[in-house]
Every structure is written in structure tokens, then in C-alpha cells.
Amino acid sequence: MELIIDFDNIKEPGKKECLLQSLKLMGIGFQATEKPQTLQEYNADLESGEAEIKRGGFITTEDLKIEMRKW
């Protein structure tokens, strides 16, 4: 899975850092530049994400909250 994030709209450095740490913790790839995604790329991302979920590659909200308390 890959996200496109507009960091310019996040004004507080602490929020940027928290976002980056959360993405890294969850193993979510991201890019900070904006480029249009093709329909094929979009569908491939959906299929990849669905397969990852079926493999158990996700973290629950409760587990994430527990992990965030350790930061």
C-alpha cells in the first residue's frame, strides 16, 4: 500500500512526526510528492491491500493505541 501525503498542509512539526511514526509502525509505504494515480495502479493497490488483510497484515485500533502509549 502506498499513500500520497501533502506535508505542506500539516503545520505542526509534532503532528508530522506522529504521522510518520504511525505509518512506519504500521508498515505503510508513503511518498511525499503528488502525482496522479492511474486506474490500473489504483486497482492494483486495492488488490494488494485486500491480500495483505487476508494474510493478517494489519493492526487493530486497540493494538495501535497500546503501541502509541509506548512512544
pLDDT band at residue 11 using 50, 70 and 90 as cut-offs: confident
Cα torsion angle, 51, 65, 32, 8, sign: positive
Q: Which of 18-27, 28-37, 61-70 has the highest mean pLDDT?
A: 61-70
CA-to-CA distance for 66 and 45, rounded, in angstroms? Answer: 28
User: Model pTM greater than 0.85?
Assistant: no
pLDDT for 26 equals 83
Domain residues for the domain of 63 are 2-69
Cα torsion angle, 29, 24, 57, 60, sign: negative
Structurally, the chain folds into a number of domains equal to: 1
CA-to-CA distance for 59 and 35, rounded, in angstroms? Answer: 28
What does the pLDDT average to over 39-65? 92
